[in-house]
Amino acid sequence: MRLRRKPAYLRTGGEEKPRKKVNIDKYIYIGLLILVVILGFWRLSKAIFYVTGYGQIIIPKFELQPINDIRILKLYVKEGQQVKPEEILCSYCEKEEFYQPVSEYQLIRDRENLKREIGKINNEKKLLAKNMELDFVKLEEQLKNKFNEKEYYENLLKKKNEEMERMKKMVLLETYLPYNIKNLEEEIEKIRYRIIGLEEEISFIELQIKTLKEKKKIEMENLNNQENILYSQIGILKISHPLNTKYFYSPVYGTVTKIYPQEKEVVIRGQTIMEIYRLEEIKIKSFFEQRDLKFLKKGRNVIIQYPDGYQKEGVITDVYFATLPQPPEFQKKYEPVHRSVIADIVPLKQDVELSGNLYMMSVKIYVPRFSKGGGK
């Protein structure tokens, strides 16, 4: 009986180890577990290390409203622009002048008068530029002379010091008498005082040049503003001719956040024309539980969190011990009115984004429990 033999193969090397299957689910589970632990620790740390309160952003604002029906002729500012007192905001005319007919002769005469005023302003600008240029040339010539004089005395001082060293050696050799050194020392001291005086004179002339440049810039800006106003009045005459054009001026320093009407639109009495916010006086009125009163110290630094998650530092400026009801948005429905301790907070840096919705915005306040207090 013959058995069929299977072919034989020679195996070299060690046996291959079976590959282990990577358990990805295990790593995902561990990662999620770590994330949950971190989030839980973060939430717990906020509760342990901070007292939480709620606040509303309060910004002083000025609303420009007419006492009569008017038509806006021209707007001189834009939204987001900073203004200062006595700066022109807009021009307007009263209701009775909306459609007042004017003869062609009157229009031509008014245009010519405005053009003459513009010509006078151009002459003033040329005269100002010429006078300023002469003053600059004079001051720069004085400055150049002072620098040359200073350089001369510095070279002279250098020579005198070298001569002093030489004379000291000669005195040691008994070639010169000591009183000669004393006279030379007095000369050197006078030269030094003269150099100090020249440096003070140079600084004063440089300050004069800087002041003159700033003065020129301010006066040119004023003349340009006057010229722009006259040109705008000429443009108004081409459309209508209000006999008594009036202007609204800004009463405060601030930033224009919202302009409601457009040019040539009618504004009814009491309607708001524009809003001016005073961002430098921004503050936050915050509400805390009565049990947290001991953590609210004047001057303590806090963390302000805006609705979009952005955080910044602030400082407590005032704490009111009397309790007040919380605003309606902080109250819980179907529960008695909740009263809170009030504190005023001011951001350390006024870098908040300008927005018309910033006023009365709700924010969260975090006060450190273990801070020693004493803000800036």
Please tell me the distance from the alpha carbon of residue 373 to that of residue 351, in angstroms, as a whole number.
23
Please tell me the distance from the alpha carbon of residue 246 to that of residue 236, in angstroms, as a whole number.
13
Q: What is the percent of the chain where pLDDT is above 90?
A: 6
Residue 330: C-alpha distances to residues 46, 199, 361 (Å) = 20, 65, 12
pLDDT tens track for 318-343: 888 777 776 766 666 666 667 888 88
pLDDT tens track for 23-51: 677 677 777 777 777 766 666 666 677 88
Closest CA to 275 of 360, 347, 352, 355: 355
Q: What is the percent of the chain where pLDDT is above 70?
A: 74
- What is the widest separation between alpha-carbon atoms in the chain? 143
pLDDT at 163 over 60: yes
Residue 12 pLDDT grade (very low, low, confident, very high; cuts 50, 70, 90): low
CA angle 206, 211, 214 (to 5 degrees): 130
The two structure tokens encoding residue 311: 């955080």
- Average pLDDT of span 48-66: 85
Please tell me the distance from the alpha carbon of residue 193 to that of residue 237, in angstroms, as a whole number.
66
pLDDT at 13 over 60: no
pTM, entire model: 0.43
pLDDT at 177 over 70: no
Please tell me the distance from the alpha carbon of residue 63 to that of residue 50, in angstroms, as a whole number.
38
Q: Provide the pLDDT for residue 140.
A: 86
Q: Provide the pLDDT for residue 8.
A: 53
Strand partners, 368: 50
Task: Give the chain's domains with CATH numbers.
Answer: 50-60+279-368 (2.40.30.170), 101-240 (1.10.287)
Q: Provide the pLDDT for residue 11.
A: 55
Question: Ranked by mean pLDDT, which of 204-208, 259-263, 331-335 comes out on top?
Answer: 259-263
**Spatial contact of 57 and 361, defined as CB atoms under 8 Å apart:** yes
pLDDT tens track for 93-109: 876 555 554 445 466 67
Which residues neighbour 72 within 8 Å (Cβ) at sequence distance 6 or greater?
A: 90, 91, 92, 261, 262, 263, 264, 265, 266, 267, 273
Residue 370 pLDDT grade (very low, low, confident, very high; cuts 50, 70, 90): confident
What number of CA atoms fall less than 13 Å from residue 86's CA on the CB side? 2
Q: Provide the pLDDT for residue 374.
A: 46
Q: % helix / strand / coil in the chain, to the nearest 5?
A: 45, 25, 30
